[in-house]
Amino acid sequence: MIMIIYYLHTFIAAVILSVIYTAIWQKRFDINITFCFVMVPFINLAYCLMYSVKNADTVIFALKITYLGGVFLTWFIMLCVLNLCKIKIGSAFRAVTFIVNILLYLSVLTIGIYPIFYKGIRLAKSGKTWKIIKDYGIMHTMFYVVIVTELLISFAALIYSRVRKRDVSRTVLNLLFIPLLACVVGYFLNHSVIKKVDLMPLMYVIAETVYIMIVKRMVLYEVSDMVIETMVQAGDTGFLNVGFDHSYLGSNDTAKKIIPGLTGLAIDDKIKPDGNFENTILCWIGRFENGGQSEKYLYSRGDTDGDGHGEFYNVAVSYLYDGAKKRGYQIFLADDTQNQKYIKLIGQYNSELEEEVAQKTAGITKIQNKMVMGLATMVEGRDNSTGGHIKRTSEVVRILIEEMRKDPAAGLSEKFCEDLIKAAPMHDLGKIAVDDHILRKPGRYLPEEYEIMKTHAEKGAEIVHEILKDTGDEEFSQLAENVAHFHHERWDGNGYPKGLKGKDIPLEARIMSIADVYDALVSKRVYKEKMSFEQADRIIKENMGAQFDPGLYKYYAAARPLLEEYYTKRAE
């Protein structure tokens, strides 16, 4: 009974594994592996029948089916090994070995009829199962010769590839040893140690499991190979594939010339951060991952600064796809040497022109800044409650930005910092559109007056947009517009004019909000006296996470001594 359960379980396992293989099957899969998954469930079913049915003829029929594994599975495994090791074999070899195996199996079919494979066979009841007593014939000896020959060829191919071939995955080679060892171990144990239970069904299940691991891994290399084959192997364009674990998946000859370190790599070798790859492949992949999209970089090698034979390459990094699934990275290296030489030549001719344009641009920018500051000062002149507010908040923004610049994790570009400092005076330009009777009111606003005052944010954004449009700096224009539009938004979503919440509020507006409120707290207004630094600090701290971005608190805290020093000097 235990034996029947064992064979039944191996049959069920074989069926499940074949279903899994069918589910992941792709037309690129090795056909020899596919035949293995087709045959094993039937072979394991035959083992179940052989030890569970009561009819002697059915037992002999099942025995003949089990020999499909011994005759053909070993042959399929050999062909699979040769194929995956990229060892070319002629059609004559396939034809001859196929004919040998066909003749061998035809001799198996004579069991119980002619004394070719077995000289004789007797069936005896052993409890609830059959005991098969065999007297081997000449073809059975030939059967062993063929199996041993095919296994030796397979082992030899694997060892040769492990030692000599660098374009075959070491992981796949290691996995391919397992089905071969399973066959050897199964045959050895059955004929010397364990004779009551046939271990071959279990070995077939182990082989299926390994082959699923192999085909899932091989998809990665096959995708790589197909892409590489579509590239011209000689020429100006280099191409290489890298796995997510930084394993080398293959490249064309041009890539090896551009990055000589590739010639020393075998398939599946890890690309290590040494002198060959740290500033090239690994750097490109790292920048690509940080960007999260297809990226292009310029790579130079040789004497590119002098008159030597320097070379430039455009490097494009993208994901390597297997269907819709990301499997690694693909890197293209396109020769851009001539183009870069033209650019350098043009740059030399245009250097004086660029300098002149830069000077004129700087002059225009200076005029523009003065106009904006003049407009902001005019607005402040109408508002009798906020004298000096524009200059003070601009300085507070500058102090906060300086603290944020010290922290690489803040990720602020130099342009962002300069643009925000330059945009700070524009944050209240919208007040120019508010009626004097509200703007100059010497006291707190009534609810309906406050609603009118709140419109200055949206009106300010419109004014900034009109002033800065067509200036050629869209990034600054958008930042300044955001500062004017959203500096009264709150982190908890209870601000105005849009009720934005959290990181939906642009960073520049979140920074401006702290500066705006801090100045309002420590400055005197017509409706209140100025607060002490301690009181203002307590209010700012209490409103982190409610009114203000809590992530900015550490910068505010670091800037506090400079803020207090600034306001103290102004009061003197």
What was the pLDDT predicted at 221?
59
Give the residue, 193 or 494, on which the prediction is more confident.
Answer: 494
Which of the two residues, 127 and 104, has the higher pLDDT score? 104
The DSSP line for 226-293 is HHHHHS-SSSSEEEEEEETT-BEEEE-HHHHHHSGGGGGPPTT-B--SSTTTTTTHHHHHHHHHHHTS
Q: Model confidence over 551-563: pLDDT tens digits? A: 999 999 999 999 9
Given a cut of 60, whether residue 227 has pLDDT beyond it is: no
Nearest Cα neighbor of 479 from 458, 454, 498, 506 is 506
Which CATH code of 3.40.5, 1.20.1070, 1.10.3470, 1.10.287 fits the domain covering 2-227?
1.20.1070
- pLDDT at position 238 is 82
Percentage of the residues of the chain whose pLDDT score is greater than 70: 83
Q: Structural domain boundaries of the chain?
A: 2-227, 231-335, 346-571
Give the model's pLDDT for residue 153: 94
The answer to whether 2-227 and 346-571 have equal CATH topology is no
Q: Which fold has domain 231-335?
A: Beta-Lactamase (3.30.450)
Q: Over the stretch 323-355, which tens digit does the pLDDT of each residue have? A: 667 878 888 888 877 777 766 666 665 666 667
What is the pLDDT, as a whole number, of residue 270? Answer: 85
Task: Note the pLDDT of residue 371.
Answer: 65
Residue 232 has a pLDDT of: 45
The DSSP output letter for 528 is B
Determine the Cα–Cα distance for residues 477 and 464; give it in Å rounded to an integer: 8
**How does residue 368 score in pLDDT terms, banded at 50, 70 and 90?**
low
CATH of domain 346-571: 1.10.3210.10
What mean pLDDT do residues 37-41 have? 91
pLDDT at 53 exceeding the cut of 50:
yes
Overall average pLDDT of the 208-218 stretch:
84
What band does 233 get if pLDDT is binned at 50, 70 and 90? Answer: very low
Question: What's the average model confidence in pLDDT over 368-391?
Answer: 66
Per-residue pLDDT, 182: 84
Query: Is residue 513 classed as helix, strand or coil in its secondary structure?
Result: helix
